[in-house]
Amino acid sequence: MRFTTATALATLATLASAAKNGRTFAVLRFNGDGFLTEGPMDPVVSPGIQSSHYHSIMGGSNFGATVEGNQLLDSKCTTAKIKNDKSNYWIPSLFFQDPKNGTFQKVPLFYMNVYYFFEATDDEIVAFPPGLKMLTGDANTRAAPKSGGALNLDPDSDLPIQPVQWTCPRSSYNPPSYPVGSDGSTAGIVDPNNKGSGAGFPLYPCDGYASPLRQDIHFPSCYNETAGLDNHKENMLWPHNEGFKQNCPAGTKHVPHMFIEVYWNTPLFDDFWTPDGKNQPFVLSNGDATGYSSHADFIAGWETNTLQTIIDTCDAGDAGMDQCPQIPGGLNDNNNCKIKPDFGTILNAGQIITDLPVVGKAVTGWGKGGVSGGSVVPPAPSKSSSSKAADATPVSSSPAETEAAGSATSKGYEASPTVKAEATTTSAPGGAFIESSSTSVAAVETSVETSVETPATTPAPDADTPGSYPEIKTIWDIVTITLTTTVPAPEPTQGLHRRAPKHSHGHAARHLGGSFAARR
């Protein structure tokens, strides 16, 4: 029998309205080296004004401090591998704070994935409407999550939703990444289901398989159209677990469940800190030394039919969304989509700064910055009459100082590969089951340039500050989950830097791809 496109589409149309009995998914990857742009911009939380902290942004080139609605759709280029995805995805940038003298360096991106999960459901899963703005995670917290080290995406749970984690595969978990019995007040908390994951930054370097430190962030997937595209505080709800299905509340649209993984090139800094089981050197761009305030933002810029086709016809999984059988508009062949930031300047790899952009020296959490313990509250707003007009942190008014780093090689940036292979498998209730593969990784020269950061200007008031989310209950009341995972490394554009110059970057990348493929 012969299948025509028409019959295939008719079949799909029928399926689309029927119940979906299993999860399908596809991982979106990105082209090129690093991000689309970086800087203190956040058109979801602080439209039109400087954000309270520096972000790293992927996606469509029409990104800017004021972007909204359909504006992303005619972006000239995108970093996404799917040409018709002009969405933007962003997270707080990660910095290394030198324990010797307190200076900071941006941690370069290794690579980033966005899992698009199409869950088993009785709903129809539909594409994101262009301009949909979302925020997940809490940029203001410095307190350990009530759910401990585990994720919680279940809105019916007694615990609050916990959509973020850190994952750090290691060749050995002795000593453990998180102190045994930690309550989160002076160090993070291990995920009871996975020694390599937890709440907060781990205390040891990530030397497991192809695995620098990974930031894991889940987005809710039920869009409340009545609340609207721009109302990021109320427009998204978490689906309810009903048996093995995830169903959205009445009156909301079931959109894809996004899960972002950001792999930061932390091994670059392995030689510059000595683990002692008590401290670790990484800090988020908002000054958070705990990692609890990890978060991500999204603005939809998908050509709707392209994403709907992928939802309805693709289960490419870890092989990547670029392997979907039907991709209207095709793949993106632009490997160098970059734009200038609306605020500030992009920090270079290797550039040493004495103050974080915007927040200055205000590093807080786990006893730092005059605050201590798990009940940490970020610095008091400096001017706070209204809950929406508070500055999160003191602002440095002097230009950030910059120093040239020496040569890359003198700083241990020489090539290097090899991380231990360690396969782990994890599955969790209602969750997918994904496995990590083995092998790893390689090298690349870091170019070190000097440039001076622009002076921080006064951040405009924004809602991304302490006490400004009084009504966010809808979202934070939720919880449970899903999956712990680890993943196939795509071919990285930039190698992990380690000492042990045995493999070449290309070799490692091929090896990685091959070993993963073999496992599927």
Ligand X SMILES: *[C@@H]1O[C@H](CO)[C@@H](O)[C@H](O)[C@H]1NC(C)=O
Residues near ligand X (CB under 6 A) are: 98, 100-101, 103, 224, 226-227, 234, 237, 249, 251-252, 272, 352, 403
| Shortest spacing between CB 120 and ligand X, in angstroms | 21
List, in sequence order, every beta strand (DSSP E) within 50-108.
Answer: 55-59, 88-92, 94-97, 104-106
The residue among 218 and 233 lying less far from ligand X, judged by its C-beta, is 233
- Give the 3-state secondary structure of residue 411: helix
The residue among 166 and 219 lying less far from ligand X, judged by its C-beta, is 219
Cis-peptide, bond into residue 488, ω within 30° of zero: no
The residue among 227 and 319 lying less far from ligand X, judged by its C-beta, is 227
| Shortest spacing between CB 391 and ligand X, in angstroms | 26
| Shortest spacing between CB 397 and ligand X, in angstroms | 19
The residue among 57 and 352 lying less far from ligand X, judged by its C-beta, is 352
Residue 402: name the closest of 357, 469, 372 by CA: 357
Report how far residue 502's alpha carbon sits from residue 415's, in angstroms, rounded to the nearest whole number: 9
Element (H, E) at 476: helix 473-476
How many CB atoms are located within 10 Å of the residue 439 CB?
22
**204: which residues sit within 8 A by CB, 6+ positions away?**
168, 170, 175, 177, 275, 277, 280
**40: which residues sit within 8 A by CB, 6+ positions away?**
50, 51, 52, 53, 54, 55, 341, 343, 344, 357, 358, 459
Q: Are the C-beta atoms of residues 262 and 214 closer than 8 Å to each other?
A: yes
**38: which residues sit within 8 A by CB, 6+ positions away?**
54, 55, 56, 57, 93, 341, 346, 347
| Shortest spacing between CB 480 and ligand X, in angstroms | 18
The residue among 224 and 334 lying less far from ligand X, judged by its C-beta, is 224
Report how far residue 67's alpha carbon sits from residue 44's, in angstroms, rounded to the nearest whole number: 9
Q: Are the C-beta atoms of residues 418 and 440 closer than 8 Å to each other?
A: yes
The residue among 227 and 423 lying less far from ligand X, judged by its C-beta, is 227
The residue among 102 and 192 lying less far from ligand X, judged by its C-beta, is 102
| Shortest spacing between CB 202 and ligand X, in angstroms | 21
Residue reference for tokens 């997270």: 91
Report how far residue 70's alpha carbon sits from residue 336's, in angstroms, rounded to the nearest whole number: 23
The residue among 163 and 378 lying less far from ligand X, judged by its C-beta, is 163
| Shortest spacing between CB 225 and ligand X, in angstroms | 8
- Give the 3-state secondary structure of residue 217: strand
The residue among 251 and 325 lying less far from ligand X, judged by its C-beta, is 251
The residue among 84 and 474 lying less far from ligand X, judged by its C-beta, is 474
| Shortest spacing between CB 240 and ligand X, in angstroms | 11
User: 365 pairs with which residues across the strands?
Assistant: 368
List, in sequence order, every beta strand (DSSP E) within 336-414.
Answer: 352-353, 402-403
| Shortest spacing between CB 476 and ligand X, in angstroms | 14
Q: Are the C-beta atoms of residues 352 and 103 closer than 8 Å to each other?
A: yes
Report how far residue 431's alpha carbon sits from residue 265's, in angstroms, rounded to the nearest whole number: 28
| Shortest spacing between CB 406 and ligand X, in angstroms | 7
| Shortest spacing between CB 224 and ligand X, in angstroms | 4
